[in-house]
Structure formats: structure tokens, C-alpha cells
Amino acid sequence: MRNADGLAALAEIVRQRESGHAAERIGIDRRHFLAASGAALGALALAACDSMGPKSAKSLLTFAMNQNEVLERTLFRHTSIDVPKASALPAGSHFPSYFVSRHVPVWDPAARGPWHLEVSGLVRTPLRLSLTDLAALPRIGYKLDHFCVEGWTAVATRTGVRVADLAQLAGADRAARYVDFQSFDDGYHESWDIESAMHPQTLIVYAQDGHYLNAAWGAPARVFSPVKLGYKNTKYLTRIAFLPERNGGYWSDQGYEWYGGV
Amino acid sequence: MKRHHVVVRITHWVNVLALTIMVASGLRIFNAYPAFARKGESFCCYPFAGRPIPSWLTFGGWLAGARNWHFAMMWLLVVNGIVYLGFIYLHGEWRDLVPRRSVFRDAGEMMKFYLTIRKDHPRQGKHNALQRMAYFAMPLVGIVAVVTGVAIWKPVELAPLTHLLGGYVWARYWHFWAMFVLVVLAAVHIFMVFTVDPYSIPAMVTGQYRERWSPEARNARPFVHLAPAREEEDSHAQR
């Protein structure tokens, strides 16, 4: 009710101001004008609470997001690496599990044939890797922080293959400035800038805390890097596509930052 | 003579806007994980873990909306803060804000006056000692908020900074505290403006102020002696 009253007061004032020296005509003095304006502004502030804010601000927010991305990409270094605190405990079974399908996505070989990870797009030799193939490639294991967009962190040991090694193996083209990580989790995917994908801590992970991934954590394989927020790290991987242009992503198409850098 | 230079007046109100949006959107971001512990650990120092901030205090609608506002408005906050601090440094206003050697004794006298232990308002310049402390602390805590905010924005790219603050979890905790202190300072400030010196509102809008309106001249404490001196009322009534 207060919102409506305040807005009505504001509309009345605007109407009166537009029709000339309203203050003189109707005898509204400065104090009343200020009080009414204050009430109207207060009502607007209340009306704005827990809304997305004025629509007109959207272009400004997009502009800021793009400028932030320019700054973040300038700040980005392959030599900036994540080293979790020595005292940090691994999350273990407390590690959260997120997916967008209704149920935990599980690859069903009876229905879909054996699982493969496809490396394709702007590459000389497209690859089709089984889990055994992946495990035979140079193995990297790091204890790493996971930074979730929600604000929590969790530590886990991630074992897998560097995306940079896969890019080299497939002969990724120089024109591939972006990489799309696609999944069998109801179309979930997120595309990355090539620099972040080539970071030494960006891995195609098939084991967590020394065990092959379980379904909740993204089995058979997922991408993981501490330089990207959790939502950029596609689980239930099916395809790594090297692309000349960015290809959006599940959450970045809905309003989260496409860059999602840490 | 204006009480506040136009630069101070503009940066004050821009700061009101920027800080309000930063706090409200920050609280919406906080609500996505209203706790501090790393997953699988406990956190010593936050007894309200798991309890979200009431949504009417938040802004942004959802996590992505709040983040987009937070990461846009931070630039307004920072640029506005630099303009303000640069201006008061070059223009000399810092002399009214930097605590003098006697600030604690003077603040004690002000407290005695507010608690009615002391009858007459202590002598002051532009601001009393409590105001000096608050207005001096505000930018300092603001800087802490910005630095801790940058540390949790880029904990890998700017890892040395984040480590300096005790790591991501602690940096996030200090960021929360900085916000809380800013909110408390602002709340007390607003309370005192309305109950002790409402004449400072036009002073911060148009710059207009009379020494006879000052709390010292009125011997004003909260809710007491709000009315200006009688001759002021008369001259006002003629208009």
C-alpha cells in the first residue's frame, strides 16, 4: 500500500511540475514537495527490493560485465595457480553435487553405446577417447580449491589429463579461440576462452580423491579448473569442441557472467 | 559560505546510492551460501550459519542479478571514493576529519553530554569528536571492503592478496564484517542526522547552513533542542 501511495504522489508531483509552476498554483511549498518526493523515493526503493532493478539498467549492467571481462582477461596469467591452504581439509563426501537433469545423469551403455569423449572442431585430428584411453594419457593430480558462484569453496584432489595436452594431441588450430565443453546432462554446456582452457590446472578429470568419479560428481569425466567458477566446469562430458567463436553456456545464457573467472 | 563543497555533496549522495546497492546486492549474494565454512569443515566465528538474510533487505532478485549489480556498482563506489578522497586531500577538508590528538578525550566528553552526565555541549569545529571518528573510519572501512572484495573476486589470479587476508574463507568473512561496520556507521549517522541535526540535510543538498542551527548552538542531543533558535524561526517566517 505504501508503495502505491508513494508512486501516486510522485506521479502527481511530476504531472503538476509539467503543467507549470504547480507549487504556486496549488500552494505546495518546498517542504511539502521534499516530503512527498522523499516518500515517493522511499516507495520506489521499497518497490525495488529483491527485484532485478530497473529494466533500463540492463544495458549498463551488460556494459559493466563486458568491461569486467576485458579486465579479467588482462589479469589472467598461466602462472597464477591455485594452491589450497595446507590446513584445508578435503570435502570428501561433503562435496556438493549439481546437475540440471531431473535425476543424476548416468551414461547408459546399453542405450547409447560405450562412452567416448570427443575432441573435435578446429583440430587436425579429431579424437574419440574411451575412459581407458584417457587414463593412459599423461596423468596430472592436484589438490585444488573449487570456487562456487554461490560463495562456498571445497577442496578435492583432481586427477586427469590437461586440456592443453589434449589440444596438442588433437592438433588444435590457432584459430580456435574458444572451447565448448558439452555434456549428456540435458544439454548442459559452457564455452570458455582458450587461455583459461590451456591453463596448466585445467584438467579433464576422471578421478576425485583417488577414486574414479561417481555419478554425482560427473562420471565418467568432467572438466575442472580452479581458474573458473564451478558452473563453467561442465560435468558428464561428451565433447570438447574447439571453436572460432564463443558458444555461450547453460548458465551464462541465463544471466551469469560468461567469463566466470576466478 | 557553503557548509559542504559541491564535490563533497555530490560524492556523498552518489555514495549513498552505490553503497546501498552494494550492501543489498551483496546480501543477496551472501544468501546463496549464508555461511563461511569450507565444505567439509566448520567455521569458528559465525553463529548464524545457514540462516539467510531477510529477502526484503536484499537486491538483485536472484544470484546472477545481484552479482551483475554488485560487479557494476563496485566501479561507481570505487571511482566515487577516489574522487572524494582525492578532493578532500587537495582541497583541505581532511583537516575537519582526521582525528586530532585529543579525539578520544573529546569523544568521551561528547558521550558524557549525550548521556546527560554533562550539561553543556562540548566546543567543536565543523564536526564533534564522535563525528570525526565516524567520518574518518568510514573511508578506511570502505577501503577494507574493497580490498577484501577484490580478494574474493580473484582468489586465484590475485592469490597473494587473498593469502594475505588468510585465504578465501577468511577474506569473505572480513568482507562481510566490513559491510557490517559500514552499515552500523551509516545507521548511527542517519539516526543522529534526524534526531540531533536535521539541518545537516539541506546542508548536504544545497550547502546552506547557519552556525545558529548547529547542535552546539542549540545544545542538542538526540530528540532534545531540535528547534532552531527563535530569531531563526522569525526570519524564516517572513518568507
pLDDT of residue A26: 40
Average pLDDT over residues A131-139: 97
- Is the pLDDT assigned to residue A3 strictly greater than 70? no
What tens digit of pLDDT does each residue of B214-234 get? 999 999 999 999 988 665 444
ipTM above 0.85 for this complex: yes
Average pLDDT over residues A92-119: 96
Counting one residue from chain A and one from chain B, the pairs whose CB atoms sit within 8 A come to 126
CB atoms within 10 A of CB A68: 19
Of A127, A252, B239, A118, nearest to A261 by C-alpha is A252
Average pLDDT over residues B118-135: 94
pLDDT of residue A56: 82
**To the nearest whole number, what is the mean pLDDT of chain A?**
87
The residues near B34 (Cβ < 8 Å, ≥ 6 apart) are B48, B49, B50, B51, B52, B53
pLDDT of residue B237: 43
What gap in Å lies between CA A161 and CA B11, rounded to an integer? Answer: 52
What tens digit of pLDDT does each residue of B149-179 get? 999 999 999 999 999 999 999 999 999 999 9
pLDDT of residue B1: 72
Confidence of residue B18 (pLDDT cuts 50, 70, 90): very high
Confidence of residue A96 (pLDDT cuts 50, 70, 90): very high
Q: How many domains does chain B contain in total?
A: 1
The residues near B19 (Cβ < 8 Å, ≥ 6 apart) are B77, B182, B186
B1 within a domain of the structure (yes/no): no
Instruction: Verify whether the Cβ–Cβ distance B159 to A83 is below 8 Å.
Output: yes
Instruction: Indicate which CATH number applies to the domain containing B46.
Output: 1.20.950.20
pLDDT of residue A214: 96
Instruction: Verify whether the Cβ–Cβ distance B32 to A151 is below 8 Å.
Output: yes
Domain that holds residue B91: 6-238
Q: Are the C-beta atoms of A205 and A228 separated by less than 8 Å?
A: no
Residue in A49, A82, A92 closest to B156 by CB: A82
Q: How far off is chain A from B146, nearest CA to CA, in Å?
A: 15
Q: How far off is chain A from B104, nearest CA to CA, in Å?
A: 36
Q: Is A27 helix (H, G, I), strand (E, B) or coil?
A: coil
Task: Give me the CATH code for the A73-254 domain, please.
Answer: 3.90.420.10
pLDDT of residue B50: 95
A205 has a chain B CB within 8 A of its CB: no
Using CA atoms of B141, B142, B148, B150 in order, give the dihedral in degrees to the nearest 10. Answer: -170
What tens digit of pLDDT does each residue of A20-76 get? 343 334 444 555 555 656 665 565 555 555 577 788 889 999 999 999 999 999 999
What gap in Å lies between CA B228 and CA B196, rounded to an integer? Answer: 11
Range name among A78-87, B70-79, B95-104, B226-235 with the lowest pLDDT average = B226-235
Q: In whole angstroms, how far apart are CA A228 and each of A145, B63, B155, B186?
A: 11, 17, 11, 35
Q: Where are the domains of chain A?
A: 2-51, 73-254
Instruction: Tell me the sheet residues that pair with A119.
Output: A127, A240
- Is the pLDDT assigned to residue A84 strictly greater than 60? yes
**To the nearest whole number, what is the mean pLDDT of chain B?**
94
Which cell numbers in the block locate residue A151? Answer: 560463495
The residues near B104 (Cβ < 8 Å, ≥ 6 apart) are B129
Instruction: Verify whether the Cβ–Cβ distance B61 to A53 is below 8 Å.
Output: yes
Instruction: Verify whether the Cβ–Cβ distance B29 to A151 is below 8 Å.
Output: yes
Of A205, A257, A207, A206, nearest to A228 by C-alpha is A257
